[in-house]
Amino acid sequence: MFCVIFVFSFFVTYMTVNLVSAKMRSYGVGKVIDGDTIVLDNGEKVRLLGIDAPDKGIEGSEKTTVVLETLIGGKKVWVEGDRYKEDQYGRRLGWLWMNCESVPEFKPEKYMEKVYLRNRGNTYTKWVEENPIGCRGGILVNEQLLKMGVVEQYFVEGEGELKYGERLRRAMTE
């Protein structure tokens, strides 16, 4: 019995340490590909959720790329996941945060899915409105680009809500 408890305790501790260290990772920006896609300093490509910028070669693409480079260049960023982990091109999908004062405490990736199931598909009552703890004074880059008017709002219809979906919708009307 002692052996089972010891193994279980070790497993729980191991998983907790790995989950905490995964959420605590900040990144440098290696490259800005366009107005809604970046490459982190570890080589991972990240597509920003909830927004859409013109692709390379399309009118406005150079401007959005420069704006994003200016906004996040040389800064430490944090990537917050949501219910969708990657797109059809293998890019990680996420919310990009900068200027966090400490390690952000993000809501779980499946947060909105859990809220939806709890409400049995009725209206959402627990939108994520506030910045996460540890990033109260930080900037949600996805939202900032919308407010600057250089990208458009973009949501895949019928795929379920995203944590900051309502917040982005409101940013379009401010």
pLDDT number for residue 168: 92
pLDDT number for residue 115: 62
pLDDT number for residue 15: 42
Domains of the chain: 26-171 (2.40.50.90)
pLDDT number for residue 53: 97
pLDDT number for residue 39: 97
Consecutive sets of 10 residues in the chain, 174 residues long: mean pLDDT of each? Answer: 49 41 77 96 97 94 97 96 90 97 91 63 64 96 96 80 87 81
Q: d(Cα 85, Cα 90) in Å, to the nearest integer? A: 9
What three-state secondary structure class fits 170? helix
Q: Which helix (H) or strand (E) holds 47?
A: strand 45-48
- Whether the model clears a pTM of 0.85, i.e. scores above it, the answer is no
pLDDT number for residue 174: 74
